[in-house]
Structure 1
Amino acid sequence: MEVFLLAFFAIGYLVLGGADIGVGMALPYLGRTPGERREVIAAIAPFFLGNEVWLVTAGGVLVGLFPKLEGELLSGNHVPVVALLVAWVVRDMGLWLRGRLPGRRWQGWCDGAIVAGSWGLALSWGVLLSHVLLGIQGPLAALAVAVPAALFGVHGLAFAALRLHGAPHRRAAVLSGGAGEAPTFALTSAALVAVGVLAGFRLPLEAGTSGPLLAPAILVLLPVLVATQAWVWWTFRHRVDGPSYL
């Protein structure tokens, strides 16, 4: 049961959070004008905070139920973990502060923070997934880091194709071709699930002694989280038709 909870939240974050990371990575490509960039950001505005809840929950499950694994993952991997946290703060700072002051220069700085933070997140996850979780080292390490980052990017394009319209939609749909946007998003989601499952097979998933106490409490909250996420996706299922609050 403990392994299921960790896998559920970790893989859920890769699929859900990977979408807004990928959109941020592709922001200069999707939005060529200030107005288009605001619409691109509006595509992820209702989702990115809820997606981060999955990462926080996965971290809580890791610390609470797998203390030994948590120590092994963090030991000697401070650089990618710190880089991930810094990129997370920079990306969210750009999103939150972009609409707080007028002026294209300010918006340009915030857009740069969004793009840099999104790339930082993708590359940091690439390092953790390839080296720490999958154990890939040597000359292939750089390629192994680039593959998850590229996967985040195409996943973001697939998500943007579902949410945008007009010229940004046509740019995002370049990967879909005649296959359709929903099947493309399903395919990139499945690829991220496969990466998460592959990483899980290599981890020493030995639960701690607190599992019998914490696991039932997490299971009680699980339907609430899933129902809330489903409600958000249903409510904002339509394409964006203008800028958001960001």
Structure 2
Amino acid sequence: MELIWYAVFAVLLAGYFALEGFDLGVGLLLPVLGRTGEDRDRMVAAVAPFVLANEVWLVAVAGTLVGAYPLLEGEVLFGLYPLVVGMLLAWVVRDAGLWFRRRIDGPVWRRFWDLMITAGSLGLSFGWGVALYAAATGFASSPLHPLGLLLGVVVTLLFAFHGWTFLAWRAPGFAGATRPGRALLGTGLLAALPAIAVLAGGMGHLLDHSAPTATLSVLSLMVLPFAPIMLGAQVWTWRTFRPGKAANRIPSFF
């Protein structure tokens, strides 16, 4: 049972990096590729149908951490409390930018919230890299160690590249690039690689911190039946909003 929940946690965390990675990557690229208000509208429109579905994976990761690894949850929150708070604030700022940027017409208003989208995306991307380094060291080393900061930069660059590939797939021709679905799958795996590496290296630590078998059995009965619903909703989203499905006619969040 411990191996089953380790596999579930690994799939959820890697899936979050692969999916939310392009959302954050597009946010990082807003000031680079979004030279005009129309360009920025197109970029936000490209990710708009996917954002909420992708964030469900993070909720599932947090739920699995609490249920399957209760001791590790306390270790994470205690060891990374300032970082976790900062990442939550970045998440709120990024999502507020997505929802508020078109609530009022005006270039100053939109530029401000576009900046918030980029700032929040940067905070989350960099924060995840630093958090992965801390987890890889068993929370024994400061997240601000040079290697932790370097991993934060690496994850940020991987997400930005993944976001660029997503835009080239979702809105062919935007910024002069077109990429097939295979390329998006490849950059998704690349974006998830740091998380996969840390999970593989920390497998023994995770298994040692698993909840009792009886708890995991009850958790399985309560949670796993909903997994097909989550996956089915994800498949529906990707099939419904694949390239050619009105990417340019959805200006933003409403």
Same fold (TM > 0.5): yes
Alignment partner of 1:154 out of 161, 165, 169: 161
2:222 maps to 1:217: yes
How far off its partner does 1:32 sit?
1.1
- Alpha-carbon RMSD: 1.8
2:7 maps to 1:8: no
Partners of 2:53 and 2:234 within 8 A in 1 = yes
Given the two structures, how large is their TM-score scaled by the length of structure 2?
0.88
2:73 maps to 1:70: yes
Residue identity (%): 38
Cα distance per residue 1:145-164 (max 9 Å; x no partner): 21111111111111111112
Quote the Cα distance in structure 2 between the aligned partners of 1:51 and 1:80. 21
Partners of 2:129 and 2:149 within 8 A in 1 = no
Partners of 1:134 and 1:202 within 8 A in 2 = no
Quote the Cα distance in structure 2 between the aligned partners of 1:244 and 1:230. 23
How far off its partner does 1:194 sit?
2.5
Partners of 1:41 and 1:244 within 8 A in 2 = yes
Greater Cα offset, 90-99 or 72-81: 72-81
How far off its partner does 1:198 sit?
1.2
- Gap runs ≥5 in structure 1: none
Quote the Cα distance in structure 2 between the aligned partners of 1:149 and 1:100. 29
Given the two structures, how large is their TM-score scaled by the length of structure 1?
0.90
Alignment of 1:105-116 (within 5 A): 105-116=108-119
Quote the Cα distance in structure 1 between the aligned partners of 2:151 and 2:37. 34
Quote the Cα distance in structure 1 between the aligned partners of 2:146 and 2:30. 30
SS at match of 2:90: helix
Quote the Cα distance in structure 1 between the aligned partners of 2:128 and 2:230. 24
How far off its partner does 1:29 sit?
1.6
Partner residue, 2:129: 126
Partners of 1:20 and 1:44 within 8 A in 2 = yes
Partners of 2:133 and 2:151 within 8 A in 1 = yes
Partners of 1:134 and 1:198 within 8 A in 2 = no
- Gap runs ≥5 in structure 2: none
2:81 maps to 1:95: no
Partner residue, 1:163: 170
Partner residue, 1:84: 87
Partner residue, 1:234: 239
Partners of 1:134 and 1:199 within 8 A in 2 = no
Cα distance per residue 1:173-211 (max 9 Å; x no partner): 3xx8xxx44333222212233322211123321321321
How far off its partner does 1:227 sit?
0.5
How far off its partner does 1:31 sit?
1.5
Deviating above 6 A after TM superposition, structure 1's stretches of 4 or more consecutive aligned residues are none
Partner residue, 1:140: 147
Quote the Cα distance in structure 2 between the aligned partners of 1:214 and 1:63. 11
- Alignment length, in residue pairs? 238
Quote the Cα distance in structure 2 between the aligned partners of 1:144 and 1:109. 28
Partners of 1:94 and 1:113 within 8 A in 2 = yes
Quote the Cα distance in structure 2 between the aligned partners of 1:91 and 1:84. 10
How far off its partner does 1:134 sit?
5.2
